[in-house]
Amino acid sequence: MKPATTAPWEALTRAADASRNVHLRDMFAADAQRFSHLSTSWNGWLLDYSKQRVSTATMGLLHGLWQGADVPGWIVRMRAGEAINHTEGRAALHIALRHPASKGPLLHAGQDVMPGVHGELDKMQRFAAQIHGRHWRGATGEPITDIVNIGIGGSDLGPRMATQALAAFRHPDLRVHYVANLDGADLVTVLAGLQPRTTLFIIASKTFTTQETMQNAASARNWLVQALGEAAVARHFVAVSTNLAEVARFGIDPANAFAFWDWVGGRYSLWSVIGLPLALAVGCDNFRQLLAGAHAMDEHFFSAPVAENLPGLLALLEIWNTNFLGAESRAVLPYSQSLALLPRYLQQLEMESSGKQTDRQGMPLTCASGPVIWGEAGTNGQHAFYQLIHQGGRLLPCEFIVCKQPDFALPGHHEKLLANCFAQSEALMRGKTLAETTAELAASGMAADQVAMLAPYRSFPGNQPSTTLLLPRLDPFALGALLALYEHKVFVESVIWDINPFDQWGVEYGKQLASRLLPVIVGTASGEHLDSSTAGLVAACRGT
């Protein structure tokens, strides 16, 4: 059944119409216990959604979407290893990557995947111990000081984001770098500060054929070979791939290839050996803590009732804002410089998963799916785009993420950070009326004509919805739980919207067109089949 035709959906439509002219400040004035009614906690975390434009009655209706779409049943299907990625005939069993061995088997196609998962994890730990213990030596006998991960998409964004997020836990004698962009500027600027004899490359590509990754890998290989010779490749390159034939052809010893499986989607792969650069950056004990945090969030998601279920609540609030209030984007605003890359990571996770126009029956969607995700670390964003959020006249739901304790304790900083975070959510909720602004300016002694002129510019509509997620601190366990929280949020949304969140045909289509265009650009094929715009652009680049 299409979601927009269900009874809970229709009831929510009526509720949105009835609440459209109700201001958040009036909701707070009407309920002195609004915070306690519209917040929940888990494992020392606090999720405050009292500044969302919902009431307890609205939340009850939203809970009906969870039940009506049978989210609990879909959770069972995911955990059982069913091929819920139906367009590719695959399971989506990324939860297995952080499932403790002691918790028993998880099945895929009737086979327990846990021995393979933990076998690769143990192999990764042994390799990390060699690097950290300075036992792995390069071609000249020197230990490795720099790691360069070459990948793209999920093979880059996850480990790159997590490496920055856990900067406080980095290994002191090892530097980890990331190269993703096909633009040569990315690779060249990274290599400029490195020495071939002490650099190790990780080539992360499941098929070992990804165009961007393999071009960067080939250029990195040339850089190394020019300095150290062909024989050095085996000591300075390892692979995260399942294509051992191509790995060997590149010059990498297949014994130094780490494997993962087709039921691991790229944007869900940080927990696998794709996380190798992160494990090298922070150590395998911390990497295992990341997995433990993700598993703890899995268990919470699987068992908590919807009224207390953090991923479920975030998903339902997103659906309320998107489908009933008409929001087209969501700002992710981590008040943590360590989480500065989180908005980019969530762009891939959420927009690649939810950016769909077709439901599971192959029919056009009758409701909007995922919004545009954007954001920046606070307080930087306050000096960039917050003006538009406050006075731009658009509905822009915001998500604040902040920690009680800093990961880098520098006196005088964190208290100011907290003050700014909480002040912004209050300002977005409350606003400032023209009457309040007028009275404030008049009380300052300003002349009446100046007050009348300036008051409209200094008034704010408020009523801008936001959620605040307050964590005790940012450590590997917390980061793992945070990322798993968003994975499960996306899953709940997909069930209610009736879409497949695990494929990405739009990404694949662009790759196909690029492969067709490349021979035209290099001059080995004609461009007769091209449209006039594309043909004109190619001709301009070739000077013809």
Confidence of residue 510 (pLDDT cuts 50, 70, 90): confident
Q: Is 432 a catalytic residue?
A: no
pLDDT per residue as tens digits for the range 27-71: 999 999 999 999 999 999 999 999 999 999 999 999 999 999 999
Dist. CA 328–CA 342, nearest whole Å: 20
Quick one: tokens of 291? 């997995």
Q: According to the model, what pLDDT value does residue 509 have?
A: 87
- Mean pLDDT value of segment 321-348: 98
Q: Which of 103, 135, 383, 529 is catalytic?
A: 383
Q: According to the model, what pLDDT value does residue 515 have?
A: 87
- Mean pLDDT value of segment 7-32: 95
- Mean pLDDT value of segment 402-406: 98
324 to 16, 17, 19, 132: CA distances (angstroms): 6, 8, 11, 52
- Give, in degrees to the nearest 5, the angle at Cα 279 between 275 and 284: 125
**In the predicted model, is pLDDT for residue 216 greater than 90?**
yes
pLDDT per residue as tens digits for the range 293-322: 999 999 999 999 999 999 999 999 999 999
The answer to whether 499 touches 365, Cβ cutoff 8 Å, is yes
**In the predicted model, is pLDDT for residue 229 greater than 70?**
yes
Question: Of all residues in the chain, what percent carry a pLDDT higher than 70?
Answer: 100
- Mean pLDDT value of segment 222-237: 97
Q: According to the model, what pLDDT value does residue 286 have?
A: 98
**In the predicted model, is pLDDT for residue 167 greater than 70?**
yes
Q: Which of 37, 103, 135, 511 is catalytic?
A: 511
**In the predicted model, is pLDDT for residue 214 greater than 90?**
yes
Q: According to the model, what pLDDT value does residue 511 have?
A: 82
- Mean pLDDT value of segment 456-462: 97
**In the predicted model, is pLDDT for residue 544 greater than 80?**
no
Q: According to the model, what pLDDT value does residue 144 have?
A: 98
Q: Is 488 a catalytic residue?
A: no
Q: Is 177 a catalytic residue?
A: no
**In the predicted model, is pLDDT for residue 1 greater than 70?**
no
Quick one: tokens of 124? 């990764």
Question: Does the bond joining 379 to the residue before it have cis omega, within 30 degrees of 0?
Answer: yes
Q: Which of 352, 399, 487, 493 is catalytic?
A: 352
Mean pLDDT of the chain: 96
Tokens 């009275």 correspond to what residue? Answer: 439
Question: Of all residues in the chain, what percent carry a pLDDT higher than 90?
Answer: 91
Confidence of residue 508 (pLDDT cuts 50, 70, 90): confident
Contacts of 102 (CB under 8 A, 6+ apart): none
